[in-house]
C-alpha cells in the first residue's frame, strides 16, 4: 500500500511527510520523472518500476525484488495490469507480493510494513481480481467489500486507489461531514466496494439505510487505531451484522498497519479465523521508521519555535519544496500557519475546519498551490502526498506510533526525506524514549546559521529569476542600467536578490537552544576538565563576577571543550580569543600547582602515611577531607590565607586528579554544531 492512514476522524490531522526522488528508479516501482512542483494524487507510488524504456532492457537489469514482484507471477488480469501501468506501476512491491496469494485465496491476514511501502494496493489488487470474476450489476446490490479507515482524508485516498485500478466495479466512499443525498444515491444504484469512516457507516447502518449482511471481505486500515478505544465500539457494532461467533462463513478479515502493538493481535482474534496468516516486514528489526528518512533534533524554547521553524523550512526545503508541520493542538496549528516567520504560502488542516475545505486544502497541497501544510494528527496516517521534502514535529509526541506515522509522510516510494523534531530541555527524556522505541538515533543539530539562510535564500531567488519572461525584463532594463551606474552591478544585484528572498534582516541565534541574541562559543583547555565549575571559575577570575549576566547554558562537549552561550556577542566577541588562550594557560598552570599543594599539606597527615598509600590518599581521602573542610568557615579562611588559593579550586582540582589517576572520562553531551561534530 502506498498511502498511510490519517489519524482520528474526529479532529486530529497531520500532514504527510515530504519525499525526495532518487536519481534511480523509485523504490515503489514508479518510472523516474523530473520533479514537478505540482503532482496529482494519483502519483502515489505503490510498486516499483524499472528505469529502462524497453521491455528487453528491463528484463536484463531486473533486481531480485522486481523479479519476485513481476505481474506474471500473480493472478492479475490484463485489464488490471494496464490500469496499474497507467499509474506508473510495473511490478508489485514487497508487502504486495507477500500478501497477494493469501488475500486472493480468502485467508485472513494481519500485515505490518513500514510507512510508504504500498500497503493499500496489497489488499486492493487481489480483492478487485476476486470480485471482477463474479461481478454482479444488479441495482441496489449491497457491498461485498468494506474498508474502514480512521480519518476522512484516508478514506478518500483509499477509495481513489480502488477506482484507479477498476472500471467494472462500483466504489463508494462514505464519511462524516459530507452530504447524505449522494451517498443514498450510491446505495440505491448498488455498491461493490465501500470505503468509509466508522461514524458515517454506523449511522447509515443503524438507520437501516445500509445493508451489511452480505459482506465477504472486511479491511481495517491502520488497525491499531481502528481497534483502539476511540473506534472499537463503533467497529464492533458495524461488524456485528455479518460476523457470527465461531462461524466459518464470516467475512475474510484483513488488518493492515505500519504499527501493530501486541494488544492488536489479542483484540483481533474475535474477528479472525484461528488459521490467519501474519506478514511482518518489520519484525524484530531495531528501526521501525522508514529507512529513507533522516532524523534530526533541534533544542528550542517554545517562545522561539515559530521563528526557528521559518528558518528551518527555508534551509531544508526552500521556497519551492513541500513541508508538513505537525502540531499537538488545533489552536497551535492555526496560529503557526498565520505566523509571518514562515515566508512560504501556508495553510492549516485540523478537525475544526469544515470537511469541504479540508478536501480543498489537501488537493491544493498535492497540486503545489502552497508549500507548507500545518496540521494536527489528522494528516499523520496513510495520506500519500508526493514529493514532500521535509516533516517538522513541533514537539516529541507522547507515543512512538505517532512519531513513526508522522515521519512516514516523507521518504516515501524510494525518495529520501528529512524529519526534524523540536524539543525543549524538559522534553529530552521523551526524545530519548522515542529514540529507543523507534530504533532511531536523532542527530542533534543547531538552528540554521545566518550563512545557511543566506545560501538557501539566494538559490531560491535565482530560481525565481529563471521564471521571468524576457518581455517583462525589457520594462525594467532602463531602471536596472541606472541602478548599475549608481551602485555597481554586483552590489545592486546582491541587494535585489536579498529583497526577493526576504533575507533583509538576520538574527544571531544560539546553536545550543535557539535563543535570540546569543552567540555560541567553544572553549578548549589543555587539560581534561572534570566539572563545569572549573570553566566557570576560569572565566570569572579573568573577566570578573559580572560575566554571569552574559553567559548561559555552559555545556560539556566531547573531549576537552566547554560550549557556552554568550549574550551581546558584539561586545563579548572582543574577548573571545583572549578567553580561549587564558583558559588553556589557566588549566595547565592550575594542574601543576595541584601537586605542589598536596605535598605541602602535612598538617593533614599526608607525610606520615607509608609511600604505598600516598597514591590512594591523593585519589580518595584528600578530596573527602577537603570537602569536609568546606563546611567549616574557619578552616576555609586558614587555607585561603596560608596558600592564597580558593578552596573551591582545590576541590575541583583534586577531583580532576582523581579522574586522571583512574583514567576515567567525564560524562559529556554530544552535539552537532554547524555541521561539525564535537
Q: Which residue has the cell 561534530?
A: 677
pLDDT of residue 23: 38
Q: Which residue has the cell 476522524?
A: 9
Whole-angstrom distance between the N-terminal and C-terminal Cα of the chain? Answer: 41
Which residue ranges make up each domain of the chain? 41-280, 451-501, 518-661
3-state secondary structure at position 625: helix
More confident residue, 155 or 286: 155
Quick one: DSSP state of residue 667?
A: -
pLDDT over 70 at 568, yes or no: no
Beta-bridge partners for 70: 91
pLDDT over 60 at 575, yes or no: no
Sheet holding 518-524, edge to edge: 518-524, 561-567, 551-556
Q: Which residue has the cell 461531514?
A: 177
> Which of 28-32, 411-415, 619-623 is least confident?
28-32
pLDDT of residue 204: 93
Mean pLDDT, the chain, whole residue set: 74
**Contact (CB, 8 A) for 158 and 125:** no
Q: Give the integer Cα–Cα distance in Å for 498 and 475.
A: 21
pLDDT of residue 257: 86
Return the sign of the alpha-carbon dihedral for residues 144, 149, 151, 156: negative
Range ranked top by mean pLDDT from 28-37, 282-291, 412-421 = 412-421
3-state secondary structure at position 392: strand
> For the chain, how long is the longest CA-to-CA vector?
107
What is the C-alpha radius of gyration for the chain, rounded to an integer number of angstroms?
32
Residue 219, CB-side half-sphere exposure with 13 Å CA sphere: 31
pLDDT over 80 at 361, yes or no: yes
Which three three-digit cell numbers place residue 80?
A: 488490471
Question: For residue 616, which phi and psi values (nearest 5 degrees)?
Answer: -65, -30
Q: Give the integer Cα–Cα distance in Å for 3 and 534.
A: 54
Rounded to an integer, the average pLDDT of 26-45 is: 40
Q: Give the integer Cα–Cα distance in Å for 636 and 267.
A: 68
pLDDT over 70 at 347, yes or no: yes
- Name every residue whose Cβ is closer than 8 Å to that of residue 391 and which is 6 or more positions away in sequence: 15, 17, 18, 293, 323, 324, 325, 326, 406, 407, 409, 410, 417, 418, 419, 420
What angle do helix axes 119-133 and 94-104 make, rounded to 10 degrees?
30
3-state secondary structure at position 421: strand
Give percent above pLDDT 70 in the chain: 69
CATH architecture for residues 518-661: 2-Layer Sandwich (3.30)
Choose among 393, 375, 395, 394: nearest CA to 385.
375
**Contact (CB, 8 A) for 258 and 404:** yes
Return the sign of the alpha-carbon dihedral for residues 381, 383, 388, 392: negative
**Contact (CB, 8 A) for 337 and 352:** no
pLDDT of residue 74: 93
* DSSP state string for 92-115: --HHHHHHHHHHHTT--EEEE--T
Which three three-digit cell numbers place residue 481?
A: 542600467
More confident residue, 82 or 543: 82
pLDDT over 90 at 662, yes or no: no
Tell me the residue length of the chain.
Answer: 678
More confident residue, 50 or 203: 203
Which three three-digit cell numbers place residue 456?
A: 538557501
More confident residue, 506 or 53: 506
Which pTM was predicted? Answer: 0.60
Question: Could you report the per-residue pLDDT of 83-102, keeping only the tens digit for each?
Answer: 999 988 888 989 999 999 99
The answer to whether domain 41-280 has CATH 3.40.50.300 is: yes
pLDDT of residue 188: 94
Task: Could you list the beta-strand ranges (E) of 20-120.
Answer: 109-112
* DSSP state string for 504-566: S----B-TTT--BTEEEEEEE-SS----HHHHHHHHHHHH-GGGGGGEEEEEE-SSSEEEEEE
Which three three-digit cell numbers place residue 255?
A: 488488518
pLDDT of residue 7: 41
**Contact (CB, 8 A) for 292 and 360:** no
Range ranked top by mean pLDDT from 26-40, 57-71, 208-222, 479-493 = 208-222
Amino acid at each position: 500500500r502506498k498511502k498511510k492512514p490519517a489519524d482520528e476522524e474526529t479532529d486530529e490531522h497531520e500532514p504527510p511527510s515530504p519525499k525526495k526522488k532518487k536519481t534511480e528508479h523509485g523504490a515503489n516501482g514508479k518510472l523516474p520523472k523530473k520533479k514537478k512542483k505540482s503532482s496529482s494524487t494519483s502519483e502515489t507510488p505503490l510498486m516499483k518500476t524499472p528505469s529502462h524504456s524497453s521491455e528487453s532492457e528491463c528484463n536484463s537489469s531486473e533486481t531480485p525484488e522486481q523479479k519476485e514482484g513481476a505481474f506474471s507471477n500473480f493472478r492479475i488480469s490484463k485489464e488490471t495490469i494496464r490500469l496499474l501501468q497507467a499509474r506508473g506501476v510495473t511490478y508489485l512491491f514487497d508487502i504486495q507480493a507477500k500478501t497477494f496469494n493469501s488475500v486472493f485465496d480468502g485467508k485472513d491476514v494481519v500485515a505490518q510494513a513500514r510507512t510508504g511501502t504500498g500497503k493499500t494496493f496489497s489488499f486492493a489488487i487481489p480483492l478487485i481480481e476476486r470480485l471482477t470474476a463474479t461481478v454482479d450489476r444488479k441495482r441496489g446490490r449491497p457491498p461485498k467489500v468494506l474498508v474502514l479507515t480512521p480519518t476522512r482524508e484516508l478514506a478518500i485516498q483509499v477509495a481513489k486507489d480502488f477506482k484507479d485500478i477498476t472500471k467494472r466495479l462500483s466504489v463508494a466512499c462514505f464519511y462524516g461531514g459530507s452530504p447524505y443525498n449522494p451517498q443514498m444515491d450510491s446505495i440505491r444504484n448498488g455498491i461493490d466496494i465501500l470505503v468509509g469512516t466508522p461514524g458515517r457507516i454506523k449511522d447509515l447502518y443503524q438507520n437501516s439505510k445500509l445493508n451489511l449482511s452480505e459482506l465477504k471481505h472486511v479491511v481495517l486500515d491502520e488497525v491499531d487505531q481502528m481497534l483502539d478505544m476511540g473506534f472499537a465500539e463503533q467497529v464492533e457494532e458495524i461488524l456485528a451484522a455479518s460476523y457470527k461467533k465461531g462461524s466459518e462463513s464470516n467475512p475474510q478479515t484483513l488488518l493492515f498497519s505500519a504499527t501493530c502493538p501486541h494488544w492488536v493481535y489479542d483484540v483481533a482474534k474475535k474477528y479472525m479465523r484461528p488459521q490467519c496468516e501474519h506478514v511482518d516486514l518489520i519484525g524484530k528489526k531495531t528501526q521501525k521508521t522508514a529507512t529513507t528518512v533522516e532524523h534530526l533534533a533541534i533544542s528550542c524554547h517554545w517562545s522561539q519555535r515559530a521563528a526557528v521553524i521559518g528558518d528551518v523550512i527555508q534551509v531544508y526545503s526552500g521556497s519551492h519544496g513541500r513541508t508538513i508541520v505537525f502540531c499537538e493542538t488545533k489552536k497551535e496549528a492555526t496560529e503557526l500557519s498565520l505566523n509571518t516567520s514562515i515566508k512560504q504560502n501556508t495553510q492549516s488542516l485540523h478537525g475544526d475546519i469544515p470537511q469541504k475545505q479540508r478536501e480543498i486544502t489537501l488537493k491544493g497541497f498535492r497540486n503545489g498551490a502552497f508549500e507548507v501544510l500545518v496540521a494536527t494528527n489528522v494528516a499523520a496516517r496513510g495520506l500519500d502526498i508526493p514529493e514532500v521534502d521535509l516533516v517538522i514535529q513541533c514537539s516529541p509526541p507522547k507515543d512512538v506510533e505517532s512519531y513513526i506515522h508522522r515521519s512516514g509522510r516523507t521518504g516515501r516510494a524510494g525518495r529520501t526525506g528529512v524529519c526534524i523534531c523540536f524539543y525543549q530541555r524538559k522534553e529530552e527524556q521523551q526524545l530519548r524514549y522515542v529514540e529507543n522505541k523507534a530504533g532511531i538515533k536523532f542527530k542533534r543539530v543547531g538552528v540554521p546559521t545566518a550563512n545557511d539562510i543566506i545560501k538557501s535564500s539566494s538559490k531560491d531567488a535565482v530560481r525565481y529569476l529563471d521564471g521571468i519572461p524576457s518581455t517583462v525584463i525589457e520594462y525594467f532594463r532602463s531602471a536596472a542600467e541606472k541602478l548599475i551606474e549608481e551602485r555597481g552591478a554586483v552590489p545592486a544585484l546582491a541587494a535585489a536578490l536579498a529583497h526577493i528572498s526576504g533575507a533583509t534582516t538576520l538574527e544571531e541565534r544560539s546553536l545550543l537552544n535557539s535563543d535570540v541574541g546569543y552567540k555560541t562559543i567553544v572553549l578548549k583547555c589543555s587539560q581534561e576538565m572534570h566539572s563545569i565549575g572549573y570553566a566557570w571559575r576560569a572565566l570569572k577570575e579573568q573577566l570578573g563576577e559580572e560575566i554571569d549576566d552574559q553567559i548561559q547554558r555552559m555545556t560539556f562537549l566531547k573531549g576537552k571543550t566547554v560550549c557556552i552561550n554568550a549574550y551581546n556577542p558584539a561586545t563579548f566577541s572582543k574577548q573571545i580569543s583572549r578567553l580561549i588562550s587564558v583558559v588553556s594557560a589557566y588549566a595547565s598552570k592550575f594542574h601543576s600547582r595541584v601537586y605542589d599543594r598536596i605535598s605541602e599539606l602535612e598538617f593533614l597527615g599526608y607525610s606520615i602515611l607509608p609511600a604505598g598509600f600516598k597514591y590512594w590518599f591523593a585519589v580518595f581521602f584528600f578530596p573527602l577531607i577537603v570537602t569536609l573542610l568546606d563546611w567549616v568557615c574557619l578552616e576555609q579562611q586558614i587555607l585561603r590565607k596560608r596558600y592564597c588559593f580558593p578552596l573551591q579550586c582545590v576541590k575541583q582540582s583534586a577531583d580532576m586528579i582523581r579522574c586522571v589517576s583512574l583514567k576515567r572520562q567525564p560524562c559529556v553531551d554530544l552535539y552537532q554544531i554547524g555541521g561539525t561534530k564535537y
